[in-house]
Structure 1
Amino acid sequence: MRIREFTEADWAQVWPIVEDVIVAQETFPYDPTWSAEVAHDVWVERPPGRTVVAEEGGSVLGTAKMGANRPGPGAHVATASFLVAAAARGRGVGRALCEDALEWARARGFAAMQFNAVVETNEAAVRLYRRLGFTVIGTVPEAFAHPTLGRVGLHVMHRRL
């Protein structure tokens, strides 16, 4: 598996991953009615941000986007988001994408990385982020409408770089 910069030619494989995750409405706070065009505009970061894919044998297994969490006085803190294809889960794709994002942020002089909306019931992601040094610094109660569990919290997770 290798992680590389996203190219427009990748969208044909990235869009089904994005669509699958947002339509499930279990782990990501994106609107499940978004078209491919809207999702593309939200997912693909413009410089100085970055979008990548994890691929193996020409197949995209996952994707990540990263950049400054906020502009201006908040621009020293990075943020990132990760999506892994259902068939590739449990194979270390998410970990590789997150480690790549951390290295990217470190190399660009960011002081920390913050995730603004980790669904608290997304146990695999929360467990991974904790293993990579993130802590939950707060949880917004009932901020995410889970399709089967009802309203659950969104964690804000943070780690210094």
Structure 2
Amino acid sequence: MSDPALRAYRDADWPAVSAIIREVLAAGETYALPVLDDADARDFWLGQPGAVAVAEVDGVVVGTAKMGPNRPAQGSHIGTASFMVASAARGTGVGRALGEHVVAWHRAQGFAGIQFNAVVATNMVAVALWRSLGFEVIGTVPGAFRRPDGSCVGLHVMFLDLAGMRP
């Protein structure tokens, strides 16, 4: 598989992005959301301030990330992001490329840090990726995520300091 090419989302990407969202949500392992209809999926992925990127391999959209402020007003100096990669492209560097892109985007936009609000503790690939990019687990909400098998696992809050706020 070729290296992923990253670019800004275009309206023509929606069918591929929507399919990735449906696949990830249907698996039920990484997002605390039900499978969304098309309108709700579009609002969830495209309806917030910030930017959306896609990752393409050989001209096919295989991943996407959305990024922007974590909170409005007094919290808008801290960014956040969400990521989804098609199952066929996992383990090929797509997530890393999107993660690096998101960090660079937040730096370029002048954000002081990036906060991930809910990284499922059993999503070891994601946790390891974010740690390798400099994120720290700053807290875990025990049992806050119910997996499809009914077991409950923690949700990590992860943070990357972009402005030297932490000693």
Shorter-chain TM-score bucket reads over 0.9
Q: Secondary structure at the match of 2:129?
A: helix
Q: Which runs of 4+ in 1 moved over 2 A?
A: none
Deviation, 1:149, is: 5.7
- Cα deviation digits, residues 4-24 of structure 1 (max 9, x gap): 111111011111110011011
CA contact (8 A) 1:4 1:54 kept: yes
Which amino acid is 2:41 matched to?
A: A
Letter in 2 for 1:113: I
* Conserved 8 A contact 1:45-1:51: no
Equivalence map 1:134-149=2 (5 Å): 134-148=135-149
Q: Give the percent of matched residue pairs that are identical in Structure 1 and Structure 2.
A: 53
Cα deviations across residues 106-148 of structure 1 (Å, max 9, x unaligned)? Answer: 0010010000000000010001001111110001111111012
Cα separation, 1, equivalents of 2:55 and 2:150: 31
Q: Which runs of 5+ in 2 are unaligned?
A: 163-167
Task: Structure 1 unaligned segments of length 5 or more: list them.
Answer: none
Hey, what does 1:19 align to over in structure 2? Answer: 22
Instruction: State the AA in 2 paired with 1:26.
Output: E
1:159 paired residue number: 160
The separation in 2 between residues aligned to 1:134 and 1:60, in whole angstroms, is: 26
- Aligned CA RMSD, in angstroms, stands at 1.1
Matched, 1:37 2:39: yes
Query: What is the CA–CA distance in structure 2 between the aligned matches of 1:83 and 1:131, rounded to whole Å?
Result: 18
Aligned length: 159
1:12-161 superposed matches below 5 A: 12-32=15-35, 34-47=36-49, 49-148=50-149, 150-161=151-162
Is the contact made by 1:52 and 1:64 (CA closer than 8 Å) also made in structure 2? yes
Q: Which residue of 2 aligns with 1:2?
A: 5
